[in-house]
Structure 1
Amino acid sequence: MPLTDERDFDAVLDRVGGARIVMLGEASHGTHQFYAWRAALTRRLIAERGFSFVGVEGDWPDCDRVDRSVRCRGDAPDDPYEALEAFDRWPTWMWANEEVVDFCCWLRNRNVTLEPAQRAGFHGLDVYSLWESMREVILHLTEHDPGKVEMAVNAYRCFEPFGEDPQRYAMATRFVPMSCEEEVVKLLRAAREHASAGRGDEFTVRQNAEVVAGAERYYRAMVAGGANSWNVRDQHMMDTLDRLLAHYGPDSKAVVWAHNTHVGDARATDMTRAGMFNIGQLARERYGRDNVVLVGFGTYRGTVLAGREWGAPMRVMRVPMARPGTLEDALHEDAPPQAQLIFPPAGGPRPRLLTDWLDHRAIGVVYHPDREHWGNYVPTKLGDRYDAFYWFDETRAVHPLHVYRVETVEPETYPVGV
């Protein structure tokens, strides 16, 4: 059906029903329509269906600063713009953009009218920010639980020789029989004990320790290559989502914003043959298919914000017309320029568009439009990968908050920067 305004979301809200988790994807991390319409649907999920928080494919410490702002904490900026503008890890434009600012301003304006316990949050699910999270743990324990500071400092000192360069640490664990795993396990144990005692902002300190543990595993897996580092990362995001749902309470509900490659069930793609899983698959397995709604987004052509290599300056790039024979090519021929597709349940009659294997576009933060004819597509059974799909025939790039080059030592995410 055509998609014209937010009233058209009535159909997908009916599909959501009483689901506890709604995951909203994107075919790229730099497309205005994906961010704007995803935010619009999320506003209705929060305002009308009582969803408790948004979990995004972003770093915990950076998103915690945004969360404190949108939930009107006195130790955070009144304007979410300030919290988002401070993002400094490449690719900054993923969250430091005007589209996310607009949503976070709406969220704060809504939250300020509610009691603290009723306010919807904004949290990072990702595994990065090892050093930032360690520093947050040390600072918190120094103030609230000094007896556990030594464990945290020992973990930090173990990583110090690598100069906050995860690739140096990863290579060291491969060629020298050493790692900081033991120190990280002690840090995590101390943070969990602190959290169980209920001292200070215990959930945040525990989550920062979980990030340290997840990141250490991720970097060790990354240097070995293959699918394991992807799986470590998505497992961490799913575990973080579980902890947030438990933290918000038994009636809590979550919206997740992440790339289609994380949101769409991996079992309906060729990712499974490569030994990979993702948070969409894990959520369906853990919570049941009726409690999880997976929504994909796609485009035929337009522009996108991306970099030509990891850490390169962001730039607006042309997204060429999709390859013939792809999902995007089929929708370009038959669907309205903006469309909402709600899929019938599995088991009944379905059109071939939902059951055939079709290549489905996926653009990472590192992008080369000239390589479209052999890359940037994931073989997909659309009706099994998602429960609904939003289509935008022509799209344009997001609007970043800053355009300077950010120096980075973070490794490129496996396999294509998504």
Structure 2
Amino acid sequence: MADSIAAQIQDLARPLRTPDDLDPLLERIGDARVVAIGEASHGTHEYYAWRAALTRRLIEEQGFTLVAVEGDWPDCYRVDRSVRLRPGAAEDPRDALDAFSRWPTWMWANDDVVEFCRWLRDRNAGRPEEDRVGFYGIDVYSLWDSMHALLDWLAEHEPGHVDQAKRALACFEPFGEDGAEYAFASRFAPTSCEQAAVDLLRSLCEQRGRVEAGIDADARFSAEQNAAVVVDAERYYRAMIRGSAESWNVRDEHMVDTLDRLLDRSDGGPHPHRAVVWEHNTHIGDARATDMAGAGMTNVGQLLRERHGTDDVVLVGFGGYRGGVIAGAEWGAQMARMPVPPARAGSVEARIHEAVGRDALFVFPRGERPEWLHRRLDHRAIGVVYRPERERWGNYVPTVLGERYDAFLHLEDTTPLQPLHLERADEHVPAGAYGQ
């Protein structure tokens, strides 16, 4: 049986040496509107480099119009303004990325993302504003940053809403911009800040059709998105007390809601938006093909398939056999370069290593699939917190590979990302945990 599985893996494997080797994957993507590209860790150079290479080809050859990432809206909005050459934005995207101040900064403040964003800015520079590709953060953690950004925008453009925004902000102020403290307090308090946040968002949306001439529609969309972050972040922190599955679901639903708003947005471009999504495998791969479903968890990949259909969504996973990674030894810890030992025996990564022994691309058939793609195998997942010594019993997600993804990139040897800076003493460490 082992020999049969090895033969099936060998038959499906394609060489992965240069971006040209991604041709079979681009053919599989075809006219799909959303391509979600994962990573098996948040700190591995090769995952970021190959993801960027695929994204460049999707933008250049297939007309994708936006990149949505597992980052906060306010931070990524500064990057977006830079890559789209908006007035007053940083001329070098590196400056916008280096300003990231929420742990773990290395996820986006690293050399690979700088290289991609510089490429994107250069490409956008030769195109009309409505044809420029954007870079957006769709995560939920930035409750206070989003509230302050919203307040600043209202003070300049819609002062009639400032008092309402200040009342909403005042509700959160006693908790010192600490999500955990707010979550704990809301467990015992008879009321929360939910209604204040919802009312603020509703009033903004009601004004959308009555915007005065001269107000930047792009900036107003950002203000509305910051208000949506406040609403969902408040829900996230309250859910965090009740259980990890519920808060995880709030977070992933927020990310897909944000993506849908970006896809549905009309900004004068000649074609409907098409999106590339960058997140961890645990968000990108369909939760129903893992043990997450049994724990009551959904995720981005599952929601995208449910909302947009399997023909319009392509999910791409990553895996690595051995190497190195940037991660923290605990939540909020200083980043460190860590070894990643050879994958656990019998895992997805170990089986591909034994059968192929080189970097490889797998594009899964739409119809009948080889038997190994229906097996539940361990699949390594390294989060922002990683302890290599736990490899024997942790760090893996039971996975049916052919149901979790539509394609998979296997890398034999990996190396750590190069961060732009070490974590700073005054850096904000969010409450809760990424899961991954």
TM over 0.5: yes
Instruction: Tell me how large the CA RMSD over aligned residues is.
Output: 1.1
Match of 1:343 in 2: 364
Q: Which moved more, 1:299-308 or 1:196-205?
A: 196-205
Q: Equivalents in 1 of 2:360, 2:349: separation in Å?
A: 12
What is the CA-CA distance between 1:336 and the residue it aligns to? 4.1
Match of 1:379 in 2: 398
Match of 2:237 in 1: 219
* Residue 272 in structure 1 maps to residue 285 in structure 2: no
Match of 2:327 in 1: 306
* Residue 391 in structure 1 maps to residue 410 in structure 2: yes
Q: Equivalents in 2 of 1:89, 1:232: separation in Å?
A: 20
Q: Equivalents in 2 of 1:286, 1:207: separation in Å?
A: 20
Q: Equivalents in 1 of 2:374, 2:95: separation in Å?
A: 45
- 5+ residue gaps, structure 2, are 1-13
Match of 2:5 in 1: none
Cα 1:294–1:248 change in 2 (3 A) is farther
Q: Equivalents in 1 of 2:241, 2:74: separation in Å?
A: 25
Matched residue SS, 2:147 = helix
Match of 2:284 in 1: 263
Q: Equivalents in 1 of 2:355, 2:432: separation in Å?
A: 36
Match of 2:190 in 1: 177
Deviations 1:167-225 (A, max 9, x none): 00000001221210111111111221233333432211100000000100000000112
- Alignment match of 1:60 (pick from 68, 73, 87): 73
* Residue 236 in structure 1 maps to residue 257 in structure 2: no
Q: Equivalents in 2 of 1:217, 1:211: separation in Å?
A: 10
Match of 1:281 in 2: 302
Matched residue SS, 1:133 = helix
* Residue 359 in structure 1 maps to residue 378 in structure 2: yes
What is the CA-CA distance between 1:337 and the residue it aligns to? 1.7
What is the CA-CA distance between 1:308 and the residue it aligns to? 0.5
2:331–2:433 contact (8 Å) kept in structure 1: no
Within 5 A, what are the aligned runs for 1:395-410?
395-406=414-425, 407-410=427-430
Identity among equivalent positions (%) equals 59
2:101–2:428 contact (8 Å) kept in structure 1: no
1:151–1:190 contact (8 Å) kept in structure 2: no
Q: Equivalents in 1 of 2:50, 2:38: separation in Å?
A: 11
What is the CA-CA distance between 1:335 and the residue it aligns to? 2.2
Match of 2:9 in 1: none
* TM-score, normalised by the number of residues in structure 2: 0.93
Within 5 A, what are the aligned runs for 1:20-59?
20-59=33-72
Q: Equivalents in 2 of 1:196, 1:336: separation in Å?
A: 58
What is the CA-CA distance between 1:2 and the residue it aligns to? 1.1
Q: Equivalents in 2 of 1:335, 1:43: separation in Å?
A: 27
Matched residue SS, 1:390 = strand
Q: Equivalents in 2 of 1:358, 1:205: separation in Å?
A: 44
Following TM superposition, the consecutive aligned residue runs of length 4 or more in structure 1 with deviations greater than 6 angstroms are none
1:303–1:318 contact (8 Å) kept in structure 2: yes
Cα 1:397–1:248 change in 2 (3 A) is farther
Q: Equivalents in 2 of 1:381, 1:226: separation in Å?
A: 23
Match of 2:433 in 1: 413
What is the CA-CA distance between 1:138 and the residue it aligns to? 0.8
What is the CA-CA distance between 1:248 and the residue it aligns to? 4.7
* Residue 369 in structure 1 maps to residue 388 in structure 2: yes
Matched residue SS, 2:399 = strand
What is the CA-CA distance between 1:317 and the residue it aligns to? 0.4
Within 5 A, what are the aligned runs for 1:96-111?
96-111=109-124
Q: Equivalents in 2 of 1:134, 1:411: separation in Å?
A: 17
Amino acid in structure 2 at the alignment position of 1:90: W
Deviations 1:340-390 (A, max 9, x none): 1000014x1x22221100010000000111011111111111001000000
Deviations 1:288-309 (A, max 9, x none): 1000000000001110000011
Within 5 A, what are the aligned runs for 1:77-88?
77-88=90-101
2:103–2:429 contact (8 Å) kept in structure 1: no
Match of 2:345 in 1: 324
Q: Equivalents in 1 of 2:99, 2:49: separation in Å?
A: 21
Deviations 1:287-336 (A, max 9, x none): 11000000000001110000011110000001111111111110110124
Amino acid in structure 2 at the alignment position of 1:168: E
Matched residue SS, 1:379 = strand
Q: Equivalents in 1 of 2:420, 2:207: separation in Å?
A: 37
* Residue 192 in structure 1 maps to residue 205 in structure 2: yes
Match of 1:148 in 2: 161
* TM-score, normalised by the number of residues in structure 1: 0.97
- Alignment match of 1:89 (pick from 77, 102, 121): 102
Q: Which moved more, 1:251-260 or 1:223-232?
A: 223-232
Q: Which moved more, 1:329-338 or 1:68-77?
A: 329-338
1:145–1:194 contact (8 Å) kept in structure 2: no
What is the CA-CA distance between 1:19 and the residue it aligns to? 0.2
Amino acid in structure 2 at the alignment position of 1:388: A
- 5+ residue gaps, structure 1, are none
Match of 2:3 in 1: none
1:155–1:184 contact (8 Å) kept in structure 2: yes
* Residue 9 in structure 1 maps to residue 43 in structure 2: no
